Every structure is written in C-alpha cells, then in structure tokens.
Amino acid sequence: MQSFKNVELIKKSNIYFNGNVTSRTFIDTDGSKKSLGIMMVGEYLFGTAEAEIMEIIEGDVEVRLKGENEWKTYKSGSSFSVPANSSFDIKVKTISDYCCSYIK
C-alpha cells in the first residue's frame, strides 16, 4: 500500500528524544490509531501502553523486546509486534521510516 485513504491526520507532530524520533498520528478508516514516523540513527528505549505492530517501511534496525536476550534485525518491508505495557530497545542503523499500528 502506497497511501492510506480517507484518514484523519492529526496536525501536531509527536516529538521524542529531542527530535531524533518524530511521528504523525492518524486515524485509519476502521477507526484504529496509527502513526507514521522517522527515527534518526541512534539507540532508543520505547515503552508501550497498547500493543503495537511496527512496520519498517524503509530502514535497518535491531530490536530487543523486553525480557528477551536476542536482538533481531528488521529491514525495509518487515514488521515486529510488541505487547501492551511492555518495552523494546531499538538500534537504528540508517534513518528509518516506520508505520506503527496500535492494537486494541
């Protein structure tokens, strides 16, 4: 999918880690909340409230979910899931473009 149609796009940006991670929230046609974001090269720890699916649209990252020892690599077109009320460490190797879908 190259675009999301008939969505409601929130005007104000979300800025994390001094602007090294930024995103825009939108409400998809089915009412679900998603965000499109960009991560600059670096290492970040993200907490989750809702469960989420992170799709790496373009980029190269390594991810370690809370409670796991292993780092897994995700590149352009691949996705990983994170449980609710959890966290993950992410090492961003190249500027990475992502789509995060929040799961109720």
Contact residues toward a copy of itself (CB under 8 A) are 1-13, 15, 18-19, 22, 24, 26, 36, 38, 40, 57-58, 95, 97, 99
Collapsing DSSP to helix, strand or coil, 19 comes out as: helix
Question: CB of residue 15 vs a copy of itself: minimum separation in angstroms?
Answer: 6
Shortest separation between residue 85's beta carbon and a copy of itself, angstroms? 27
Do residues 57 and 92 make contact, with C-beta atoms less than 8 angstroms apart?
no
Between 34 and 65, whose beta carbon lies closer to a copy of itself? 34
19: exposed, middle or buried (C-beta count within 10 Å: 0-12, 13-18, 19+)? exposed
| Closest approach of a copy of itself to the CB of residue 4, in Å | 5
Which is nearer to a copy of itself, 12 or 104 (by Cβ)? Answer: 12
Tell me whether residue 84 or residue 95 sits nearer to a copy of itself (CB atom). 95
- Where does residue 70 rank: exposed (0-12), middle (13-18), buried (19+ CB within 10 A)? exposed
Determine contact, residues 16/45, Cβ cutoff 8 Å.
Answer: no
